[in-house]
Structure 1
Amino acid sequence: MTNLSIQDRINQELNKILQALQQLEIFLRELSNQSDVMYQNALINSIALNFHGVYTGIERIFEVIAKKIDQRFPTGDKWHRDLLEQMSVDIPRVRKAVITEETRLILDELRRFRHLVRSAYSCQLDEEKVLIIAHQIVNSYQTIINDIQLFCHNLSKGET
């Protein structure tokens, strides 16, 4: 796969992530205007699902980079965490780090919460935690995307 097609795949995923993030922001605004408890619960579940989509999209970008550029993809029970770690380090003669350590720490917390969302019934989700994480991803989205876009810029210049 050429660097251009890798960038194209990353950009396609970034567009999908942006759509999910915009939906997440709409749900957060709607939640603050609602008094109906059943509707609030539905919005919390929708927020958690959109959060899951945002994190999964970021992880898909990292999978493309790991498989197509690094030529190595983590395996085992902890591959999600290991993939995140792999993206935060330089690989000599292959590529610079895709994300900063600061971004890795943010994403690691989001990764752990995403696991909870995947594993729990919607009635088991902690509303307060869902909202904290949702606001965190909204507030840190630009930092995460800036890291990925800088990587793409370096990729286009052949400076991976």
Structure 2
Amino acid sequence: MINRYLTLVGRIRQELSDVKKSVERAKMAWEKAEKEADSLYLDSAALNLHDFYNGLERIFRLIAEIVDEVTPAGSSWHVEGELMAFCSFLEGKTPAE
């Protein structure tokens, strides 16, 4: 059981590293977009923000799979409230309890 959580911690750390890179790249692209009239910089900022969001989704999915032992399904699981259900606490318990 502990190994599962150690694996989760390692995977979250890697995802957070990737998320951080996406944020840094989005900031750089945004700064260049403000200085130059080139829409490619805006496109780059938007793509990196998308990567940021996807990274957070992957982290929540990992937590749901390993901690709650539930695999989110469907292409819109995050929109339909399942994402918030995985992250919410009700009377001090996670949804799996």
> By the TM > 0.5 criterion, same fold?
yes
Runs (4+) off by over 3 Å: 91-96
Tell me the number of residue pairs that the alignment of Structure 1 and Structure 2 aligns: 92
Identity of aligned residues (%): 27
Counterparts in 2 of 1:1-160, with a 5 A limit?
2-35=4-37, 40-81=38-79, 82-90=81-89, 95=94
The two structures, once aligned, show a CA RMSD in angstroms of 2.3
Task: Note if contact 1:62-1:83 (Cα within 8 Å) is conserved in structure 2.
Answer: no
Distance 1:77 1:9, change over 3 A: closer
Query: Counterpart of 1:90 in 2: which secondary structure?
Result: coil
In the superposition, the TM-score normalised over structure 1's length comes to: 0.51
Gaps of 5+ in 2: none
Q: TM-score when scaled to structure 2? A: 0.80
Gaps of 5+ in 1: 97-160
Amino acid at match of 1:88: C
Distance 2:7 2:90 in 1: 21
Higher helix fraction (1 or 2)? 1
Distance 2:73 2:4 in 1: 25
C-alpha contact 2:33 2:39 (8 A) present in aligned 1: no
